Amino acid sequence: MARNRGRARKAQPVAAPPPNLRTLAVLGLLLACIAGPVGFVVSLVAFIRSRRAGEKNTVALVGMIVGLATTAAFVAGVIYFQAVFAGQTGVCAELGPGDHDGAFGTFTCPEN
């Protein structure tokens, strides 16, 4: 002990704790159910980080799949409702082009 008197101790490197990627993956999965694109991105980040850390992260993979499926369903729904409200299917297909009186007022079906 007498030899170290007055000298600073050499700092020992401390290993950083492994990142908790499970929390990020679960957050991504939950967001994928609510907001598909956001959940997909968060799950993708968790998946990439877990791969770099050498871990298998099934929850992140499921979050990416659910995020893509939710996004695809949303886009398909938007396209379908746009087609219905534009008159390409439904009432206008039956009534034909022109002005028609409906339950919510007068509407115009375009000519094809």
User: What 8-state DSSP symbol labels residue 18?
Assistant: P
CA 33 to chain centre: 8
Structure tokens at 79: 């396209």
Residue with structure tokens 């871990």? 55
Residues contacting residue 94 through CB under 8 Å, at least 6 positions apart: none
- Our measurement of the distance from residue 64's CA atom to the centroid of its chain's CA atoms, rounded to an integer in Å, reads 7
Distance CA 112, CA 78 (A): 21
**pLDDT tens string 6-47:** 666 676 665 444 557 777 788 888 888 888 889 999 999 988
Assessment of whether the complete model's pTM goes beyond 0.75: no
